[in-house]
Structure 1
Amino acid sequence: MRFLLDMNASGALLSLLLDSGHDVVCVRDVDRKMSDSEILNWAVRERRIIITTDSDFEQMIWLQARQHCGVLRLENLPRSERMSLFEEVLSSYGQDLEAGAVVIASKQKIRIRRS
């Protein structure tokens, strides 16, 4: 899968994705001050799924009808809990993400919104 990690995604998540053979790019490697709008444009241009803890992307998608290629918003949990949550989402909802869904994952529940 092709991912774009937002500034708030952990280095441990980057390592996990790369070790699993995914194609991953990071905002922090390009421009730490890049706006969410620019990040969304980049993800669409390269057909990448955004991983973030930030709800701003959902607002742009639903309120501004912005194009996207999938977003995974993880609850901002301690690193080990966030990693477990990510692995659960990827194994159970990876196809939804690849199909362009917005997945909102917290410890309590996982919501999937399809375009």
Structure 2
Amino acid sequence: MGISTKTITWLRHKGYDAIHLSDVGLHTLTDIEILRKAVEEDRIIITADMDFSQLLSVHTNYAASVIQFRVTNFKAENIIDKLQLIFQKLSSDFSVPQIVTVEDNRIRVRKLPF
């Protein structure tokens, strides 16, 4: 959540099987339920919510990757630019659980468990 549906549309256009929780009526799920769903469906969580890092450190039985945005500009264009940078410049293998933290001037990758 916190990510524009325009970003999801862009991801779909790029060939990703992306869903927005509000698209499928799941926006009322708790963070742990979202994490569970991501694991079950082998999805990467893209979010502005910083709670997922903590959840993954506590619930080590969940193997999921998270791209979390800590930026000042949450407009879809900025988020898309940052995602393009992640997909083009980082050779991250998202089959290995990790947390990618995107800030205005930095991208940090931490493999799980930490």
Please say whether Structure 1 and Structure 2 have the same fold, judged by a TM-score greater than 0.5: yes
Tell me, in whole angstroms, the C-alpha distance in 2 between the residues paired with 1:88 and 1:70: 17
Structure (1 or 2) with the greater helix fraction? 1
Corresponding residue to 2:14 among 6, 10, 20: 20
Q: Percent identity?
A: 25
CA separation of 1:92 and 1:53: change in aligned 2, threshold 3 A: same
Tell me which stretches of 4 or more aligned residues in structure 1 moved more than 4 Å.
none
Corresponding residue to 1:32 among 27, 34, 38: 27
Structure 1 counterpart of 2:83: 86
Report the TM-score, using the length of structure 1 for normalisation: 0.84
Identify unmatched segments of 5+ residues in structure 2.
none
Tell me, in whole angstroms, the C-alpha distance in 1 between the residues paired with 2:93 and 2:68: 13
Report the TM-score, using the length of structure 2 for normalisation: 0.84
- 1:2-13 counterparts in 2 under 5 A? 7-13=1-7
CA separation of 1:78 and 1:55: change in aligned 2, threshold 3 A: closer
Identify unmatched segments of 5+ residues in structure 1.
1-6
Counterpart secondary structure, 1:15: helix
- Pairwise CA RMSD: 1.6
Q: State the Cα distance separating 1:99 from its structure 2 match.
A: 2.5
